[in-house]
Amino acid sequence: MKKQIVTLTAVAALTAGAAGQASASSTHTVEKGETLWAISQENNVTVQELTDWNKLSSTIIYPSQQLKVSNDVEEKYSVVSGDTLSKIAQNHDISLEELMSWNGLSSDLIFPGDQLVVAGGSAQEAAPAEEAAPVEAAPAEEAAPAEETAPAEEAAPAEEAAPEEEAAPAEAPAEESAPAEATQELTVTATAYTAFCNGCSGTTATGIDLRANPDQRVIAVDPNVIPLGSKVWVEGYGEAIAGDTGGAIKGNKIDIFIPSQEEALNYGVQEVQVKVLD
């Protein structure tokens, strides 16, 4: 399927002057034709990490754009009166668990003037909490007492219902069958894509309309490794059809169709087992 550049996990076709080895720099200047997925592969990070570090609202990038490709540089924040750990974590787009781990905190007590690592931190051993006055929070307003409600009228007793006929016991659900014997087994690098995006045609290389059949399980493959039209089993995905191709899907790589754009982004890059069934 000719998928236009919607930088989920699709990669632009490689050209003779394509990007070289990943730089050791913590920033990367976007070149024409590059995608977030390609940049993430060059720097051994995920697409989700790049979008988080650069506060991107989508995966669209532009030539000459400066992207942060490493989170090694520590950034610190000075606590002020009224701050809470949850508020600080939310303001810096990190989780509460990361904030506590980077600063070796064993409780949520913080104090004005504390210096907290809010980016580029590493896990620290939690130190025992100091016995000091916590940051004072504004007292909550006392809630007005609820008005007393009038007692509900006593309902008339319901007529005794006739006993229901005993239902026949339901048949036990069939156990999920194991995949058929494989003709080929291999380990591949898996990414994910979706047909529900701007510019996507939704039709695979073998003619499957994924928009009309969002529950269809399809993967894009390199036909030289897995024949098109083959029935396959993919670890964590189940049985599917090798019904699509992609410019970046070469060798032991596959692209898994997932209807949801958010879930496709969150899939990232995984190493999975694939069995070719026929």
Per-residue confidence in pLDDT tens, the chain, 278 aa: 544 434 333 333 333 333 333 334 678 899 988 998 899 998 888 998 888 878 888 888 999 998 888 766 677 899 998 899 899 999 988 888 888 988 888 888 889 999 998 876 666 666 554 454 554 545 555 555 555 555 555 555 555 555 555 544 444 334 345 566 888 999 999 999 998 877 777 899 899 999 899 999 999 999 999 999 999 999 999 999 999 998 889 999 999 999 988 898 899 999 999 999 98
pLDDT value for 186: 94
Domain boundaries, the chain: 75-119, 184-276
Q: What angle do CA 168, 170, 171 make, to 5 degrees?
A: 125
Contacts of 84 (CB under 8 A, 6+ apart): 108, 110, 135, 137
Q: What is the dihedral of CA 200, 261, 49, 90, to 10 degrees?
A: 140
What's residue 18's pLDDT?
Answer: 35
**102 by DSSP, 3-state: which?**
helix
Asked if domains 75-119 and 184-276 share a fold, the reply is no
Which pLDDT belongs to residue 55?
84
CATH of domain 75-119: 3.10.350.10
Chain Cα centroid distance, residue 165: 49
Calpha distance 182→39 (Å, rounded): 35
Instruction: Indicate the CATH number of 184-276 among 2.60.40.10, 2.40.40.10, 3.30.1540.10, 2.40.110.10.
Output: 2.40.40.10
Q: Hey, what are 223's tokens?
A: 């036909």
- Contact yes or no for 187/271 (Cβ under 8 A): yes
Residues 6+ apart with CB under 8 A from 238: 217
What pLDDT is stored for residue 202 in this prediction?
A: 84
